[in-house]
Chain A
């Protein structure tokens, strides 16, 4: 789906000329991963959808920043979604909850309890730790795109992914992560 859009520079050209429909078509394939990112970052499905909607409006207004670079569309849009999630978290400060401590797992576990523990462990990560993890492992974005979305170098992105993953699974090594 993503590749199909990347092959349509004329859609980007029309969007840059102010065609809202073309812009909506352009980001359509990104809405599902954007929602998943926002829902994990906010730990709230409804708030995740709201964040995606707001991010889409901001992306539409800032589309010229992309300078027609289709290859950067996905990391660029994901960084806007992540930023919108940051703002949404600031607005709902009162919803911060204390999660119970969970020891990092040390071996391959797939029981429902282990999955539930993993969810709690993800929720306990700081947002800046959660973001690279979600982009890389959950949304399967290549390291270079994760780096662009985080506005850091690939080496720094790799380190952040490793640090976050290590908190969830202590026996992972840097080489295994990327």
Chain B
């Protein structure tokens, strides 16, 4: 009887503490699992894939014959791109950029996007930092690569150098980090490229993060929904 009464009391107390999970939890989990990169292939598959890729590269080199003198065209050639070409990508479908970039997600976006979670991770070919928002993405996201890992705190103006040799400054305009986010504001890692990610400002709708990197920033930005997420992949090879 004592045990059962204890169990009932405890269940009542903890039920009050936890409530029920939100109705969207199931969809959140399903969506997250759907988008999670698989890392479950056995090593022999990775080895076979590496051999296959090597064979394709060798085949392309033989067919392309890089030792053959180049043919000089006559007349106007194709206009070269003004943007520096990115270094080779480990995932051919992903194009990494290495220059300042501003992404606009408005104007339909509401004035403020509330950050609810920040995560970092590493994958084959890239390190990742993910910002999750309560309802929608911020109106504007700016990405500024820099040649050092020195960033300015928005409120105080103090400079701080974080781990890493190079940096990427991420600025969210129309965002808020203090209302719905109580997680870490400084992530240190031993990933190949991303060494540290730290919050440097949350003031008047502008949220700033500094990312310390091992090499010059080349990144790819994508968005995910349900919940709204901004994903920044940093080329690590």
Contacts and interface: CB of A to CB of B under 8 A. Distances in A.
Contacts of A49: 21-22, 25, 28
A40 B17 contact: yes
The size class of the interface chain B forms with chain A is 35 or more
A-B interface, 9 closest residue pairs, ranked by CB to CB distance from nearest: A39-B18, A35-B21, A91-B184, A118-B13, A24-B30, A176-B3, A57-B36, A56-B29, A119-B13
B33 A177 contact: no
Nearest to B180: A46
B206 interface: no
B182 A95 contact: yes
Interface of B: 2-3, 5-14, 16-22, 25-26, 28-30, 32-34, 36, 38-40, 116-117, 119, 180, 182-184
B2 A176 contact: yes
A113 B144 CA distance: 55
Contact of B17 (A18, A27, A122): A122
A109 interface: yes
Interface stretch (A3-11, A68-76, A147-155, A166-174): A166-174
Contacts, number: 125
Given A56-B32, A91-B183, A122-B17, A168 B10 contact: yes
A39 B10 contact: no
Nearest to B18: A39
Given A49-B22, A92-B182, A36 B14 contact: yes
